Amino acid sequence: MSIEEALPILVRMICSFLASFIAIALWSRLRDAVWTLIVLGSVSLLIETLYHLLVIIGLASYRLLFINGIPMLETLLSSLPPILLGIGFLVFIIRDRRY
């Protein structure tokens, strides 16, 4: 693995770790449904990044489950963080709307 391939992964891992750490620290103080979803989204981003690194190294594979030719594990890992963050933001907007 060259430095051109390793640097973006390293930066992404550091940023997702810091985001997960800060989200867990805030969640431990607030204990709110919104923060629970945001923490889950942040941690799932970290898990997706770590699994991607394992695939690049060759210790894991996305070929575990295919449905109609679509790699379900890759699809789930890449789409879960924005889905959880979006639901968290949506719950925040619905709960705190004041008309």
| 99 has pLDDT over 60 | no
Per-residue confidence (pLDDT) for residue 98, from 0 to 100: 67
Q: Which domain holds residue 14?
A: 3-95
* Gap between the Cα atoms of 74 and 92, Å rounded: 28
pLDDT tens per residue, range 61-79: 888 788 888 888 889 999 9
pTM over 0.85: no
What are the tens digits of pLDDT across the range 29-58? 888 888 889 899 999 999 999 998 888 888
**Number of compact structural domains in the chain:** 1
Helices 72-95 and 33-57, axial angle in degrees (round to 10): 160
Long-range contact set of residues 52-59: C-beta below 8 Å, sequence gap at least 24: 52/9, 52/77, 53/9, 53/13, 56/1, 56/5, 56/9, 57/1
